[in-house]
Structure formats: C-alpha cells, structure tokens
Structure 1
Amino acid sequence: MNKKSLAYKNTISNFYLGDCVDILKDLNENSVDLIVTSPPYSDQRKGTYGGIHPDSYVEWFLPKSKEFFRVLKPTGTFILNIKEKVVNGERHTYVLDLIKEMRNQGWLWTEEFIWHKKNCHPGKWPNRFRDSWERLIQFNKSKNFSMYQENVMVPIGDWAKTRLKNLSETDKIRDNSKVGSGFGKNVSKWVGKEFVYPTNVLHLATESSNKSHSAAFPTSLPSWFIKLFTKENDVVLDPFLGSGTTAIASSLLGRNSIGIELLDRYFETALQRFQEETKINGVVKTKAKTNEEDIIEISQQSLLYG
C-alpha cells in the first residue's frame, strides 16, 4: 500500500494507492464526517475505469459500502454519485437494487439530489435521448446527521421582483411550514430576503478542463456537499478518488481528506493536480502512530508507505 500525505494551510490530505476495502479496514470506525464519491460506471470504459457488469454491480459494491458504514460517524453523510446503464433498450435496475440492499446493511436512504449538467451536448439513440443529469444519493446511519443548510443558500433571483410586488391575502397566511421548509405559505416572509434555501436540483457544468480522467465531476459538485454536511477541520473521504477532485475541494474549504485510488495513473494524477490547484508549498507531512509529525520535502519519486 502506497500512501502520501500533502499539507495545505491547516489541512492534511492522505492519498492511498490500493483497494478501498483493504485500506479502510485500517481506518478507525466512526472517524469520517462525509463520504463523497463517484464509483466506476457499470460496464463502461473497460480497461481504463469501471467494467463492472450491471448484473454484478450490487455484489461488487456491497463489501465497500459495508466499510463505508463502519468508518462513517453516526452524524455523518454518504453522498453517492451514480447513474443507471441502458441494457438491451431499457434502463437496468442495479441502482435501485443497490439502494434496497444498502438499506438492509443499515443505511438510511435520506435524500436524492439531481445534478443537471448545464453544458451537456445534445444527442439521441433510436429509443431515447441523451441524459443531462445524474443521481447523487444521500445515505445516513441515523436521522440525526450534521447539516449546515445556511452554507448553501442561493440568491433569491429576479422572479421575486415581480412575484412579491402584489401579494394576495393567501400569500400572507400560515407563518410556519408544516414540514419545516422555512417559509410555508406565507410568501410575504420572502420580502427583503436576498438568499433562500436551494432545491435538490444542482445546475452545474461538467468538468471540461480535466482531460486526465474519463469520469471526472466538477470541483463545484463535491464542494457543495462539503459545505452542506461538514465544518472546517472535518474529515472527508473519497474511496474512488480518480483525479483527486474531492481532495482538492476539501482542502480549499479547510477540511481534511482521505482519498483512495486503485489505479496508479490516477493516483499520480491526483497528487499532481492537488499540488497544482492548491499551490502547496512543497511540504509533505506524515503522522506516525505516536502522533509525532515528520516533515519532508516533496519528491516526484517519493512514496510513503503506511
């Protein structure tokens, strides 16, 4: 197992080369605040990334989600970016099957977000159109999880200028939402507000500048969930690190991170991208079990074994 730890400001990002199931077994239980990851697509990009047949995907994933459950704090959240695959003209059910089996593991299927890819190019097949969205499924270990909704509030928008101009009587009733949404039917409470809570649809462009990975998501995607579910100095885990986007987003937001990547070329890419995009000062930190720190200069050939 290869390990390298990179420091950025007051954060540490630990990068591991290897299988996430094996590496996570050495991680303490209840030690991670947030898991954000995009596992290999089903039966796609064989030889480079993925290649798991839809019929085998659930069986392949469950040992991993078992370890995720163990290392995640009771107040933590797991965000899974995953999409279905069309097989023989219809969508395969492995995503729904996976949700069901993860619930049997003890996970709570708490929420589902939609990532709308704003810059997705048009396309079609004989019986369907191109997807311009992907799922981000939220799982938790308990109903009492950490969430900081104010961190992701959005501008109220131009519609409010006309919508709030002439309020009807029904716009002024029921002060409190019965479901805790924050406003309820009393639309008049929106007057003077500059920011409101978002919906569960995220309108974000795909990552066009990152050519080093075939399934990279934009930095803004993990950043949104990191702000929503963690605070500074919390620990974020990406067990399918890819080109390192989650680790980069975590450090830029003042969170510590753990990234695990199975393929050597993506592991090296993640390290390089992290150093370039966080502009670190050439320092690698490794923390021993005695909690003493050794600080050494980064070397392109250096690999620290944990």
Structure 2
Amino acid sequence: MSTVIKRVIGDATLYLGDCLEVLPMLSGVDALITDPPYGINENSKKVASRSNTAKAKDYGVFDWDKSAPTAELIELMRSKAKWHALFGGNYFDLPATSCWLVWDKLNTGDFADCELAWTNWPKAVRRIQWRWNGMIRQGNEERFHPTQKPLAVMKWVIDLCPSAQTVLDPFMGSGTTGVAAIQMGRKFIGIERDERYFETACKRIEEAMRQVDMFTCQAQESPVTNDLFSEGVA
C-alpha cells in the first residue's frame, strides 16, 4: 500500500493518493460529483496538437486516460454517496436515468460540442451553455488541468443535486469541484494521486476558504440598521 497524505483546509478534507486505497477508509456522504478518466486516450500529444497558438498552456506529459475506471471502482465510488453525478457517464456501464446533465460548450473545431454527466437524480434532463472552446473561455477562467471543468458548471451541478451538503470527488484534479463546494458553503472531500494537481487543488481551495471567511467576517461586522417603521415604533 502506498503512502496516503491527508490535508484538512477548513471544511475541505483532501487526500493525496489513489482513490482505490482512500475510498474504503471513508464513510458515506451526500453527493458523489466527479469527472473520472473516460478511457479515450486523451494525452499530452493530443492536447498539444490541438493547441497551435503561442498562448497555449503546457500541461506537461500525461497519459492517464488510457483506460476508464473499472466497474468495481465505479461501484465503490457510488457506494459512498446517495446522489451521484459522473461526467463522461456515457462511457461507463451505468443504469438508465431520466436526468442527464448536458454541458453545451459552444465549441468549434474538433472538440465535442457537449459533455454529458450521468446522474441518479429524480429529475428531467438539464442543460447549461458555457463557452469553453480552447483559448476562448467564458469568464476568462484560468485553466490548471487539461480536462478541467468551469467553476460555474460545477456550481450548477452542485446546485441541481437533491442534497449536496458534503461533496466527494475521487478524481479531484486541480480542485474545481472543491472550490465550487466551498464557495457554496458545502463540505468537500477530494482525492488526487498526481502531486502537482493535488498541490494546485490545495492552493485553490485555501484561497476559496479565505474568500468565504472574509465575506463572513465582513457580514458579521456590518452595522445593523433598525427599521423605523417596524411594529412598536412611533
């Protein structure tokens, strides 16, 4: 068994390690919201071939998308939460659902027009449009990971979930799901085996926690204004 490192940042608990080793140690949570490898051989060479501009980000060498999670790992992840949302669910063997989440990336070129997330939610299909077309990204959000999802999209997913007071992401990557959860006042548990992305996730979640704490502090320090027209005031 390899070494697992645990780091607690406010309401976030982050693990550096393989989710196969960490998941059995965890108790149940409300929601599993994650973006596992799809097994479509997304790698550094393919990303570089699509990015022919000088501003293209170099994500280094990676080939972790050679295979999708096994059926056993999918079931292990799902056993840890009541509600599930898995991006790339169309690549996995999952039960039928009434609620696919459709992220329309408003793409051009050879990228997929949409990405799908499978859920077990008792809802109808839902769609969000959020441009994420290579270097053209709505909100000009910084990208840290080649398969990173926009923060707004992850907040949308969490908000749609029937209950997501504690969110688990066993494939945390650069921590976008965690940032979304913290900004929305939820608890988060994340697992990532790549140390580079684990450290990036920690920094992003620390910053999100500072912003939340600052907002809370400012709200507490705000002066109270009495309503002169309230009951009992002449």
- Report the TM-score when normalising by structure 2: 0.71
Q: Which amino acid aligns with 1:43?
A: N
**Separation in 2 of the partners of 1:17 and 1:236?**
17
Q: Which amino acid aligns with 1:82?
A: G
Structure 2: state its 5+ residue gaps.
Answer: 45-60, 214-234
Q: Are residues 1:139 and 2:145 paired?
A: no
Which residue pairs with 2:167 in the alignment? 236
Deviation at residue 231 of structure 1 after TM alignment: 5.0
**Separation in 2 of the partners of 1:61 and 1:220?**
29
Q: Are residues 1:34 and 2:31 paired?
A: yes
Residues 24/40 of structure 1: CA separation in 2 closer, same or farther (3 Å cut): same
Q: Following TM superposition, where does structure 1 have runs of at least 4 consecutive aligned residues deviating by more than 4 angstroms?
A: none
Q: Are residues 1:220 and 2:152 paired?
A: yes
Structure 1: state its 5+ residue gaps.
Answer: 85-94, 125-129, 148-180, 182-198, 282-306
Which residue pairs with 1:80 in the alignment? 86
Which residue pairs with 2:41 in the alignment? 43
Contact residue 83 and residue 135 of structure 1 kept, 8 A: yes
Which residue pairs with 1:63 in the alignment? 72
Contact residue 33 and residue 86 of structure 2 kept, 8 A: yes
Contact residue 141 and residue 150 of structure 2 kept, 8 A: no
Of all paired residues, the percent bearing the same amino acid is 27
Contact residue 105 and residue 130 of structure 2 kept, 8 A: yes
Q: Are residues 1:22 and 2:26 paired?
A: no
Aligned counterpart in structure 2 of residue 4 of structure 1, from 3, 7, 17: 7
SS at match of 2:6: strand
Deviations 1:210-247 (A, max 9, x none): 33211100011121121122557x11011100110111
**Separation in 1 of the partners of 2:147 and 2:158?**
20
Which residue pairs with 2:225 in the alignment? none
**Separation in 2 of the partners of 1:231 and 1:67?**
20
**Separation in 2 of the partners of 1:123 and 1:262?**
32
**Separation in 1 of the partners of 2:26 and 2:87?**
23
Aligned counterpart in structure 2 of residue 204 of structure 1, from 130, 136, 150: 130
Deviation at residue 83 of structure 1 after TM alignment: 7.3
SS at match of 2:146: coil
Contact residue 244 and residue 274 of structure 1 kept, 8 A: yes
**Separation in 2 of the partners of 1:231 and 1:254?**
13
**Separation in 2 of the partners of 1:214 and 1:17?**
19
Aligned counterpart in structure 2 of residue 260 of structure 1, from 187, 191, 200: 191
Residues 13/66 of structure 1: CA separation in 2 closer, same or farther (3 Å cut): same
Q: Paired residues, what number?
A: 187
Which residue pairs with 1:251 in the alignment? 182
Deviations 1:181-220 (A, max 9, x none): 9xxxxxxxxxxxxxxxxx6221112365333211100011
Q: Are residues 1:123 and 2:109 paired?
A: yes
Deviation at residue 22 of structure 1 after TM alignment: 1.1
**Separation in 1 of the partners of 2:190 and 2:207?**
17
**Separation in 2 of the partners of 1:231 and 1:109?**
18
**Separation in 1 of the partners of 2:152 and 2:88?**
17
Q: Which amino acid aligns with 1:211?
A: R
CA radius of gyration, larger in: 1
Which residue pairs with 1:290 in the alignment? none
Deviation at residue 32 of structure 1 after TM alignment: 1.3
